[in-house]
Structure 1
Amino acid sequence: MSLASLALQRLLRLPPPRTRRLTVERDRWVPMRDGTVLLADRWTPATGGDGLPTALLRSPYGRTGMIATQLARPLAERGYQVVVQSTRGTFGSGGDFDPLRREREDGLDTLDWLLEQPWCGDGIVLFGGSYLGYVQWAVADAVPGRVRAIVPSVSESAFTLEQLRGDGFSLEAPFGWGVQVAGQERQGSRLGQLLGAGRVRRAMTTLPLADADKAVLGRPSSYFQNVLAHDATSPFWQPVDHRDRVAAITVPVSTVGGWYDIFLPGQLRDFQALQKAGRARARLTVGPWSHVSMGAGAVSTAEALDFALPLARGEEPAERAAVRLYVMGEERWRDFPSWPPPGYEPERLYLRPAGTLSAEPAPPSAPDGYAYDPADPTPAVGGVRMAVGVRAGRVDNRRLESRKDVLTYTTGVLEEDTEVVGEVSAEIWFSSSLRCADVFVRVCDVDEKGRSTNVCDGLVSLTRADAVTRAEVRLWPTAYRFRRGHRIRVQVSSGAFPRYNRNPGSGEPRATATALVPADQLVFHDPDHPSSVILPVRRGD
């Protein structure tokens, strides 16, 4: 018995396999339309593999290691044959790796090749998370009929564009990923990545930021340089943006995400588009996870076995609600008919004097102030993170809240449970001594002992902050039950570094800025400036 197989069965909470004896055919050639050859490995049971449903995984991260152990093996042991392909320009595949930009053409060419293989079988399933999920969205509207389902997890159809917003540039994820893919075939080991994590974190403080990749790699990362040169609205990214294709998808979709995943807003947008179009059977599962989470991987594998595999065999999967959400605070899975779920009405909680938060608007009052110094930026603590060696998700915020550059506003003790499920936003009336400033807003749950746990957050960058401005902040969506006896808290600050790039205050372009200018910030709460957070609420039961 394979120890790796047994350990993975327990770790992913999988049913016993049909077999633990597998055969792997290495380095199969897959020709593309331009003559480039990509390499793929085929995993099958040692006997009886031909004709089984085929799971296709297309990855830029190689075909061995975690990809093989955690993704291919569980499926190949439980009813699939699995084809794992290295995307263009990675791990032996021909051509140059141009992240995201060739995955539609190469994905469709790979499916054409797969259909020609005598062993392929009648049912094909596309599977995988993150980049492996993006390559599914890139082709999903044009797949051949033998593709019976796609299972993209912690991913979305426009992938990194949310991170490249002109009004809220996420630094940590695109920088870390750009460095990773630029050096992954040279690093050689997971230990090397861990040892390099500190260097990556230090590099993000580099000025100008355009030199940060060279501080780690000794050379530029083409992806990171493109990220700095082109924000999300640039035509440069049009070939990697597949949002407009989602409504045309007809193949069944099961998408898995996490409340603290970097791609959650886009993933929920994609699911809404599927439900609105009504052309594809679609279901959504969101758990209490960050991007790199064993929990998300376990549920994705379960969806590949329980939802996609029956469809690949021409059978019906077991019935389940369209939406299954883990409601944090309650710590329980619940089923809903749609996203966002019905029955939750927007309610405002207003920032008030003396750090209070209430459903009643504030009386006439002076603004609260704090100093923001980009040389000592307000740190990112937990929450939506994707970095090696960094804790993501729910954490204790008390140390963060003790900083002088973080304001907090807290309700009284809740007299009943307050359930928040859906899209969360804030309107913060704000001004700065500088023209350029950021507004970061975070919602927290404060328990009876005073522990403050982050629920969701978001940031917006302002370019006319030297006048009183209503900052409209879109926070991450959530599903959370604030228990009776707890309190709801809102943090306001001017950053969460390095998740978001620190605002230098100078107004210089982010790539070339070298000056760090401290700022004095004001948050207003009075009848003319009713700063508030807007929560989708259902009370009681």
Structure 2
Amino acid sequence: MGREAGLVVPAADGSPLITEHYFPRTRGDFPTLLVRSPYGRGLPWAPMYGLLFAEQGFHVVLQSCRGTGGSGGAFDLWRNEAADGLATVAWLRGRPWFDGTLGTVGPSYLGYVQWALAADPPPELKAMVVQVGLHDPYALFHADGVPRLENALAVGVGMTYQHQGLVPSVRAALRLRRRLRTATTALPLRGAYASALGTEPPWLADVLAHPDAEDPYWRGASSAGAAERLRVPTALITGWHDTLADQTFEQYGRLRRAGCPASLLVGPWTHTSALQQGWPEVFAESLAWLRAHLCADPSGLRPTPVRVHLGGANAWRDLADWPPARTTASWYPLPDGRLTRQTPTDSTPVTAFRYDPADPTPSLGGPLLSGTAGARDNSVLEARDDVLTFTGPPLTEPLDVLGPVAARLSVSTDTGHAHVFTRLCDVDAQGRSVNVCDGLSSLRTTGGTAAQVTVPMGTTAHRFAVGHRIRWQISGGAHPRFARNPGTGEPPLDATALTPTHITLHTDSTLCLPHGSRPALLPAPPPHDRPAHGR
């Protein structure tokens, strides 16, 4: 394997983009992979993408995005990536080793730059592999107008420090962990996080200051439209607790509707563990897809477009599509804390609780960017007075939930302002309650009248085993994952006072679960036997 370091590629505005070229030592023509990153060109990008893929027979062009890793110009969260990607492809056309066959690969923001390039794909682009990837920055930072606070601060640390090297990055992450509570409970919240980050990135202040998805600020940020007309074969990889999983499912749906060749792999991973514990599967899937579409070698492709890990069964399932054909079953809460399939006869209150923003309901696990993401025992959380739980009977046969989960809530409040956080949990025979998927929405009520709100709770493939119980958890927030609702009607970033809110849940609230037939399961195959589908 060879390496050319310190190459300079002119960006769309002429700024120098610092680039490295990894290549096989053997003679012959090889396709090229473009990997553009705002996180530097060292660990883990050099060994995981530069070295590893060059050893598999690819030229790898590893480049620092504008304003990062020594590249010139100023970094912008999304506005330069399409133009700079096309400028890099134009530069490639002049390289004697470039044979005109191009693929892209990479995770997270490295997925966003792929979608940006795909908005107007150059003719050389023949395959993409988007791993735990982003296409909509707004949805990364906000949920129904509520700041995804913990994610925003984690992104702030990553974008500011990772391209500076391992030591500055680790120090910044540790500082954020130490100061997270102070930074996220300050009044007002706006700007208070600067001490936790060691700086206040201008772009971070901007994204948090625009909570409305329709704000002109976000115009052009989402690259969702690229998937609606794409013809470049694209492999998508995510995990059930990946903070960008919903975006991956959106990408897959658009690609399939457009008739674009696409594959989907969903593992038992978080955003970060997909590239750690999940790396054998992720690498095998990526390599098989790239070989099939760049090297005309489909031998590693699996026979179906979708492979998902079925939680609760610890097994893999191959599917023809996602989500699979299914029926949706409704579950209803009762005042005594039971969860039932029996339809209620009225909309009287089920129960009420008091949400105090001065002691906000804490977040626990779920789809985060931090190391606290994933499945966790919710027992301590569910013991709080501000968390409602409704639990079904022990199951007499396995129940599979496959697809998007949602809650239709009927809620009234005394202040008129609230958030509702709702979570699906799996309770085992010993009473351990583990989160499966969840979601949050904001609502406003008037005059004590119940408001109707539908809360998307993410997508899952999970088997509730015999003897286990389904649990529906409802609260007024999950802090600091989401900024708390101050109860005053002020925006969460600008609130200077906090008012407790009494939240009442009514019986016509519904938990909607996509039930599937019990699947035939695949034993977890060895890493080399987990490639992607190519049809």
Whether TM-score is above 0.5 comes out as yes
Distance verdict in 2 for CA 1:171–1:101, change over 3 Å: same
Matches within 5 A, 1:302-381: 302-317=284-299, 318-342=301-325, 344-362=326-344, 366-381=349-364
Shift of 1:186: 5.7
Distance verdict in 2 for CA 1:199–1:160, change over 3 Å: farther
Q: Comparing 373-382 with 236-245, which one deviates more in the overlay?
A: 236-245
Unaligned runs of 5+ in 2: 520-535
Verify: 1:246 aligned to 2:227, yes or no.
yes
> Matches of 1:26 and 1:200 in 2, distance apart?
38
Verify: 1:290 aligned to 2:270, yes or no.
yes
Counterpart for residue 6 of structure 2 = 27
- Conservation of the 8 A alpha-carbon contact between 1:209 and 1:513: yes
Counterpart for residue 87 of structure 1 = 65
> Matches of 2:194 and 2:131 in 1, distance apart?
31
- Conservation of the 8 A alpha-carbon contact between 2:190 and 2:494: yes
Counterpart for residue 117 of structure 1 = 95
- Conservation of the 8 A alpha-carbon contact between 2:156 and 2:197: no
Distance verdict in 2 for CA 1:214–1:187, change over 3 Å: farther
Counterpart for residue 9 of structure 1 = none
Shift of 1:359: 0.5
Counterpart for residue 421 of structure 1 = 402
- Conservation of the 8 A alpha-carbon contact between 1:247 and 1:273: yes
Counterpart for residue 213 of structure 1 = 193
> Matches of 1:254 and 1:384 in 2, distance apart?
21
Q: Give a deviation string over 1:96-151, Cα, whole Å, max 9, x none.
A: 00112111111111112112211123422100000001110111242223222100
Q: Comparing 176-185 with 265-274, which one deviates more in the overlay?
A: 176-185
Q: Secondary structure at 2:219's aligned position in 1?
A: helix
Shift of 1:219: 4.0
Verify: 1:44 aligned to 2:23, yes or no.
yes
> Matches of 2:123 and 2:307 in 1, distance apart?
27
Report the aligned-residue RMSD. 1.9
- Conservation of the 8 A alpha-carbon contact between 1:439 and 1:471: no
Counterpart for residue 15 of structure 1 = none
Counterpart for residue 499 of structure 1 = 481
> Matches of 1:159 and 1:479 in 2, distance apart?
26
Shift of 1:195: 2.2
Verify: 1:271 aligned to 2:249, yes or no.
no
Verify: 1:193 aligned to 2:175, yes or no.
no
Matches within 5 A, 1:158-169: 158-169=136-147
Q: Secondary structure at 2:192's aligned position in 1?
A: helix
Distance verdict in 2 for CA 1:82–1:379, change over 3 Å: same
Q: Give a deviation string over 1:198-235, Cα, whole Å, max 9, x none.
A: 24523122221212232224543212211222122212
Q: Give a deviation string over 1:174-208, Cα, whole Å, max 9, x none.
A: 22212432344567514313421324523122221
Q: Give a deviation string over 1:220-255, Cα, whole Å, max 9, x none.
A: 321221122212221211222111221111110001
> Matches of 1:100 and 1:49 in 2, distance apart?
38
> Matches of 2:197 and 2:268 in 1, distance apart?
34
Matches within 5 A, 1:450-469: 450-464=431-445, 466-469=448-451
Q: Secondary structure at 2:284's aligned position in 1?
A: helix
User: Aligned AA for 2:29?
Assistant: G
Q: Secondary structure at 2:160's aligned position in 1?
A: helix
Distance verdict in 2 for CA 1:87–1:366, change over 3 Å: closer
- Conservation of the 8 A alpha-carbon contact between 2:100 and 2:124: yes
- Conservation of the 8 A alpha-carbon contact between 2:144 and 2:441: no
Q: Secondary structure at 2:116's aligned position in 1?
A: helix
- Conservation of the 8 A alpha-carbon contact between 2:339 and 2:390: yes
Q: Secondary structure at 2:247's aligned position in 1?
A: helix
Verify: 1:140 aligned to 2:123, yes or no.
no
Distance verdict in 2 for CA 1:246–1:216, change over 3 Å: same
Shift of 1:428: 1.5
> Matches of 1:487 and 1:187 in 2, distance apart?
46
Shift of 1:463: 2.4
Given the two structures, how large is their TM-score scaled by the length of structure 2? 0.91
> Matches of 1:249 and 1:88 in 2, distance apart?
25
Q: Secondary structure at 1:523's aligned position in 2?
A: strand
> Matches of 1:447 and 1:165 in 2, distance apart?
30
How much identity, in percent, do the aligned residues show?
38
User: Aligned AA for 1:75?
Assistant: F
User: Aligned AA for 1:44?
Assistant: F
> Matches of 1:486 and 1:112 in 2, distance apart?
57
Q: Give a deviation string over 1:433-489, Cα, whole Å, max 9, x none.
A: 211101110000011111111011000011226531122111011111111111000
Verify: 1:61 aligned to 2:44, yes or no.
no
> Matches of 2:349 and 2:184 in 1, distance apart?
37
- Conservation of the 8 A alpha-carbon contact between 1:258 and 1:296: no
Unaligned runs of 5+ in 1: 1-21
Shift of 1:540: 4.9
Counterpart for residue 156 of structure 1 = 134
1:171 paired residue among 144, 149, 159: 149
Q: Comparing 80-89 with 302-311, which one deviates more in the overlay?
A: 302-311
Moved over 6 A (4+): none
1:442 paired residue among 410, 423, 430: 423
> Matches of 1:139 and 1:415 in 2, distance apart?
51
Q: Secondary structure at 1:133's aligned position in 2?
A: helix
Counterpart for residue 516 of structure 2 = 538
- Conservation of the 8 A alpha-carbon contact between 2:49 and 2:60: no
